[in-house]
């Protein structure tokens, strides 16, 4: 099996693989009905839904899993989102058998080499969308922590600012609070956002001076910020392009990336040739040569992945700039800016930083940030950080 992996030949069973079937010749083909379920999961995740909510909705609608059940779990949805096979590639030997007598298989954590083979079958999800989902998974995981990776919290998509706001004073997550006030003897309720630390809702609260802000004020501040950005469209383009240029690869890095890709392809060909002509009974020289090639391949691949990640980051930001401009251009009537757009907030904002002077910095996915006063909410109060 390892020799087949080395030759770029992978075995991809589809018995319990949602979205794919095998035709009469044994080729992997798309099951269109199941593929729509996979596309829906990816789409709803990028729209802001969590794995548990997606699973609950699929269960409620009695949509069948790959095994024919109607009970979905958040873990099942998460595995679909992490599955690289949906973009047409295959990572072989994710698990290995430690004991051929018990057939016990475990996750391959540096036990045996893994083999990443591209374009093994037709893709259901584009590589661009798959990479965006992985980025969002990472963002949600990182938002569970403060900058020092100490404070864990659960992801939630029920409220507009959940898991996208952090305290600018202590770095802890900003949480939603349901509060009560009174006017002319009449009680009323309102929603507000406050640092988890200063609101004393943390298990180990520490002193923090951050104050709460009304949810309504945050919503209006964001929409008025979009209005200002529409009026200052060229400034947005200029600032975003500067941010994109900072994370883009230099000419030297581009040349190095091309060189690495050529070296990796050459090593892959040598491994395939070696595996093709060698018999099953390998000698010590064959094993040593193969191990050396695989080790060299892994070292080069690590460097290549780092450069590719930087390249993808700049491409991602450029795409987000185009989409941001489309969003703000699509809001024609000034009255539309008075209605908070939850969908636009999720699509455009990477995170928000709530400061103790009741101002908030919105960090956009296109690489720019803007700081606004939450309480005043007047036009042209936008300032660049």
Cα(31)–Cα(64) distance, rounded to whole angstroms?
Answer: 13
pLDDT of 384: 44
CB-based contacts of 326: which residues, under 8 Å, 6+ apart? none
CB-based contacts of 92: which residues, under 8 Å, 6+ apart? 5, 10, 11, 114, 115, 116, 117
pLDDT of 322: 92
pLDDT along the chain (385 residues), means of 10: 62 77 82 93 88 92 90 92 87 69 69 70 89 84 53 58 84 84 79 83 70 89 91 92 90 92 86 66 71 84 87 88 90 74 88 87 93 64 43
Say if residues 339 and 222 touch (Cβ distance below 8 Å): no
CA 29 to chain centre: 27
29: closest CA among 92, 118, 117, 123?
A: 123
Question: In the Cβ-directed half-sphere of 123, how many Cα atoms lie within 13 Å?
Answer: 14
pLDDT of 147: 44
pLDDT of 381: 41
Count Cβ atoms below 10 Å from residue 110 Cβ, excluding itself.
7
List of domains in the chain: 2-84+127-140 (3.90.1750.20), 143-155+171-211 (no CATH), 217-385 (no CATH)
pLDDT of 302: 87
Question: In the Cβ-directed half-sphere of 157, how many Cα atoms lie within 13 Å?
Answer: 17
Enter the pTM of the model.
0.68
Say if residues 220 and 379 touch (Cβ distance below 8 Å): no
């Amino acid at each position: 099996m390892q020799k087949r992996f080395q030759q770029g030949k992978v075995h991809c069973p589809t018995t319990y693989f949602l979205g794919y079937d095998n035709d009469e010749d044994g080729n992997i083909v798309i099951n269109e009905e199941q593929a729509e379920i996979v596309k829906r999961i990816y789409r709803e995740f990028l729209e802001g839904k969590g794995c548990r909510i997606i699973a609950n909705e699929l269960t409620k609608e009695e949509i069948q899993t790959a095994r024919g059940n109607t009970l979905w779990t958040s873990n099942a949805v998460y595995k679909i989102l992490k599955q690289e096979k949906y973009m047409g590639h295959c990572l072989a030997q994710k698990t290995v058998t430690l004991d051929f007598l018990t057939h016990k298989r475990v996750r391959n954590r540096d036990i045996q080499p893994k083999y990443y083979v591209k374009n093994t079958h037709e893709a259901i999800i584009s590589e661009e969308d798959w990479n965006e989902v992985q980025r969002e998974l990472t963002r949600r995981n990182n938002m569970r922590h403060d900058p020092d990776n100490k404070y864990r919290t659960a992801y939630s998509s029920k409220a507009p600012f959940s898991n996208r706001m952090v305290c600018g004073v202590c770095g802890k997550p900003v949480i939603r609070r349901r509060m009560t006030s009174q006017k002319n003897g009449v009680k009323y309720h309102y929603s507000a956002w406050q640092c988890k630390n200063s609101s004393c809702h943390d298990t180990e609260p520490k002193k923090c001076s951050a104050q709460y802000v009304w949810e309504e004020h945050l919503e209006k501040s964001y929409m008025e910020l979009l209005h200002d950005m529409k009026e200052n469209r060229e400034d947005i383009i200029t600032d975003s392009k500067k941010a994109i240029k900072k994370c883009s690869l230099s000419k030297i890095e581009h040349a190095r990336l091309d060189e690495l890709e050529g070296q990796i392809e050459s090593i892959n060909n040598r491994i395939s040739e070696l595996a093709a002509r060698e018999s099953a009974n390998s000698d010590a020289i064959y094993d040593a040569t193969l191990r050396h090639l695989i080790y060299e391949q892994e070292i080069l691949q690590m460097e290549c992945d780092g450069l590719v990640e930087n390249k993808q980051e700049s491409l991602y930001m450029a795409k987000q700039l185009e989409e941001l401009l489309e969003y703000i251009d699509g809001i024609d009537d000034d009255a539309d800016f008075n209605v908070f757009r939850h969908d636009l907030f999720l699509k455009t904002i990477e995170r928000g930083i709530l400061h103790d002077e009741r101002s908030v910095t919105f960090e956009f996915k296109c690489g720019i940030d803007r700081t606004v006063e939450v309480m005043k909410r007047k036009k042209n109060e936008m300032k660049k950080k």
